[in-house]
Structure 1
Amino acid sequence: MAMSCKENKQDAQMNTPEEVQKAKEQTPDVADASFVDGMTGKAWNNYLQVRTALVESDAGTVQTVAGNLAESFGEQRAELKSLAQQMADSDDIEKQRELFSQFGQQAENLFKNGLSEGTIYKQYCPMAFNNTGGYWFSDVDEIRNPYFGDRMLKCGSVTETIEK
């Protein structure tokens, strides 16, 4: 199934600096969700900070907050810890985006099963990763695409709403 965010790809890439700034201001810094344990809640908050840094195409901030994300996990979550640490170790924004996508796939059950109150939105961009698509999680239903940042800020859709 082929999808695009806009009929004209050039239109999809036009975001004025004012639109980008407004989006940054409207993106909450704190999740409106509660989790069954502190580790999952801390991981969720760090995940959201990584997502925001990717939306802003800020590789340096991704490194910092991904390091915090890695510290959220003990050895029982070694794969998640490793993916987060790889994000922290890379200064290549595109590599960080790939690792973020892999992290989201691995963390999906943790976030879904750990949610005790609130709402999480699973979102999807069909154009990410050379049109193979990519998912991410958000605490708001408004699309802020971590895979394209300000190039296609609003490309994507909510594919699932997880509520408790």
Structure 2
Amino acid sequence: MKHLKLTTILAMAFLSLTIMSCKDGKKKQAKTEKHSEMNHDANDGHHDSEEKGMVMSHNQDGNAEMVLKDYFNLKDALVADDNTKAKELGATLVRSLKSLDVSKYTDAEQEELNEIIEDAAEHAEHISESPMAHQREHFKVLSKDVTDMVSITGTANTLYEQFCPMYDKGSAWLSMSKDIKNPYYGSKMLNCGKLQKEIN
């Protein structure tokens, strides 16, 4: 019994420290990353944020880039805690997903893309009809679907896979900026997360 109490106390202390470090430590990290990104961007203008728009390439599937654009707009609405905007953008994303032309891919890729599109569209549809907490639950799976789509279609832009250890035992999302803007917590823990992977 004594051992169980000690384990519980240690677990609570660890959780408290993790939350505090996620809240406070990320502010410093975000400032550092923002500073280094600003210096980087001064020398290299290729890393535009979502707000500046996406670069479209003739070598990439324009429809896939449109799906990404709509996904990033939806992410930004969740970051801003804007339930109404997220509903509208969820419906927009459903349309761009369903209009994705997979005909130029191999049979195996087409089959995989069709499965991804079906699943992603279902989650985007739920987002278009749900309150914020439920939107964020569906955004987690939607983000995995969009990441899987990009692994097949490629992208004309450098993307960043980011990860929040706090939300639902750990959740990832895609961004066009290295800056952490957490769509799962919005203003509650805006900078909670870390850069996990760069996708070119």
Q: TM-score range by the shorter chain?
A: 0.7 to 0.9
Paired with 2:67 and 2:49, the residues of 1 have a C-alpha distance of 18
Q: Choose the corresponding residue for 2:160, options 114, 121, 136.
A: 121
Question: What pairs with 1:74-85 in structure 2 (closer than 5 Å)?
Answer: 74=98, 76=114, 77-85=117-125
How far does residue 133 in structure 1 lie from its aligned partner after superposition?
A: 1.1
Residues 45, 137 of structure 1: alpha-carbon distance in 2 compared, 3 angstrom cutoff:
same
Higher helix share: 2
Distance change (3 Å), C-alpha of 1:134 and 1:33: farther
Query: What's the TM-score, normalizing by structure 2?
Result: 0.65
Asked whether the 8 Å contact 2:86–2:127 carries over to 1, the reply is: yes
Change in Cα spacing, 1:7 to 1:149, as seen in structure 2 (3 Å) is same
Matched, 1:4 2:18: yes
2:54 aligned to which of 16, 31, 38: 31
Q: 1:48 aligns with which of 53, 72, 85?
A: 72
The TM-score, its normalising length taken from structure 1, stands at 0.79
Is 1:99 aligned with 2:138?
A: yes
Percent of pairs with identical residues: 25
Aligned length: 148
RMSD: 2.8
Structure 1 contact 62–87 (Cα < 8 Å) conserved: yes
Are the structure 2 counterparts of residues 107 and 13 from structure 1 closer, same or farther at C-alpha, using a change threshold of 3 Å? closer
- The CA deviation at 1:80 is 1.4
CA shift for structure 1 position 151: 1.0
Q: Is residue 142 of structure 1 aligned with residue 142 of structure 2?
A: no
Distance 1:116 1:12, change over 3 A: closer
Q: Which structure has greater strand proportion?
A: 1
- Structure 2, unmatched stretches of 5+, are 1-14, 28-47, 100-113
Distance in 1 of aligned mates of 2:90 and 2:25: 29
1:87 aligns with one of 127, 144, 168: 127
Larger Rg: 2
Q: Is the 8 A contact 2:90 2:127 kept in 1?
A: yes
Give secondary structure in 2 for the equivalent of 1:158: strand
Tell me the distance in 2 between the aligned counterparts of 1:32 and 1:5.
Answer: 37
Per chain length, whose mean CA-contact separation is higher, i.e. which structure has more relative contact order (CA < 8 Å, sep 6+)?
1
Counterpart of 1:133 in structure 2 is 170
C-alpha contact 1:5 1:156 (8 A) present in aligned 2: no
Distance 1:155 1:5, change over 3 A: farther
**1:28 to partner: Cα distance:** 3.5
